[in-house]
Amino acid sequence: MSDRSSGTGVHRAGVFARAPAQAPAGGAHTLEADALTTDTSTPLPQTVPSPPADRPFARGLVPAPMPVQFLDDQGHRVQVFNDDYPEPAAEQLVAAYSAMVVGRRFDVQATALAKQGRLAVYPAARGQEACQVGSMLTLSKDDWAFPTYRDSMALVARGLDPVEVLTSPHGAAHCGYDPRANRTAPQATPLATQLIHAVGFASGEQRQGRPTVAMAFVGDGGTSEGDFHEALNFAAVFNAPVVFLVQNNTYAISTPLTRQTAAPSLGYKGIGYGIASEQVDGNDAMAVLAVLNKAVAHARAGQGPVLVEAHTYRLDAHTNADDATRYRSSAEVEDWIRRDPITRLEAWLRQEGLIDDAFVAATAQKAEAFAADLRARMSVDLVVDPMSLFDNVFGTPTPQLLEQRAMVQAELEAEEASR
Ligand SMILES: Cc1ncc(C[n+]2csc(CCOP(=O)(O)OP(=O)(O)O)c2C)c(N)n1
Ligand SMILES: [Mg+2]
């Protein structure tokens, strides 16, 4: 494994010196003035706030040369580029621990359900708990999440019904939850498309004067997509309140990070667009919370988008359809198990006297009950109306969609009549 992918290795720091020039100072500017649209007949939104001249990230746009870390592999407090980030509150850390334990149990249960044929597919996130949970605990309930197929655990941490989350991997519907009610976009499978949605949505919210932040998830592989670059550029130009969380789990299916990019860190990809960027040890929940707390506050305060690269690892295969032993060694996996995000945080919380044996046992029990309830509810066959396939595709269905809908309706009626 390369040093770059290890999360603690040597980075080619110094390739970029200090922060490049800050965004120009000055008041709010109009879209019209910037000629960012050719359609001047469209009523233009009032203003787009300019980025403030003084961005509060210590290194400006430039990420730390090494991932920000608060806890080492054993859960001891360390000082690694974390001086710019306040330590998260004890309540947030304890909540993160509980959510990670439940989240992992959910993930393991979903993996088992896929093996049993109750799910068509399941992309596991075991090992990525600090990112999955940390991202959601830093959002307020009115913020929006734009997740990928990998982020089911994050949605559970947000409080979504796990059965509704698993409706899509079950193969029963495009999306089993109500995106508006849950303020969570459908999980995107086409890589990086959700980033464009996040930017457009967040810009819209900002223009309506709402303090909404969008947390946009993407994997290391997704950063090679054109949509990633377009989303970053748009977000920076429009000062959209988006936090881009790159979960660098070291692989895009079988493609290792070394074949994905020659960049010194994926976090550096924000700089060229004028986006404040950071990299963090993605298996250190305390560091993830600290960095994302700040990133969300930064975006909410109108200071612009933030890109955070979290160095982590997926312990399981890409999905149940993948055989990871074909492209990585068990020694590599063992090495990452050593950096387990849950045991690290648990060790620190115990040292500090914030949790004890009784709390750990009660949390494990809560996780078991969660999994048992999920098993029971997933063993009931879902009744799906085939016509629902055509719902929620377009606000106003296209003539082609209506034609296809009528065709399916006629086929179902003919089948019914022949019984
Ligand atoms: C536009 C697009 N191209 C290719 C694929 C096929 N595909 C699905 S997952 C994946 C790997 C993505 O890796 P990464 O972004 O690192 O996310 P991870 O699965 O590791 O969370 C690929 C290539 C896709 N879903 N969408
Ligand atoms: Mg990946």
Probe target for ligand 1 pocket from 196, 253, 312, with the most ligand atoms within 8 Å of CB: 253
pLDDT tens digits for 380-393?
Answer: 887 888 898 898 88
pLDDT tens digits for 159-207?
Answer: 999 999 999 999 888 899 999 999 999 999 999 999 999 999 999 999 9
Ligand 1 center to 207 CA (angstroms)? 32
CB 361 within 8 A of CB 88: no
Rounded to 5°, the CA angle 366-103-381 comes to 85
Ligand 1 within 6 A of CB of 282: no
pLDDT tens digits for 210-265?
Answer: 999 999 999 999 999 999 999 999 999 999 999 999 999 999 999 999 999 999 89
Catalytic residue among 327, 328, 350, 405: 327
Ligand 2 center to 188 CA (angstroms)? 14
For the question of residue 314 being annotated catalytic, the response is yes
For the question of residue 174 being annotated catalytic, the response is no
pLDDT tens digits for 359-379?
Answer: 999 999 999 999 999 999 999
- For residue 104, the number of C-alpha atoms closer than 13 Å in the C-beta half-sphere is 21
pLDDT surpassing 90 at residue 329 = yes
CA distance 313 to 126: 8
CA distance 77 to 97: 16
Ligand 1 center to 411 CA (angstroms)? 35
Question: Residue 289: pLDDT band by 50, 70, 90 thresholds?
Answer: very high
Tokens of residue 193, six digits: 């498309």
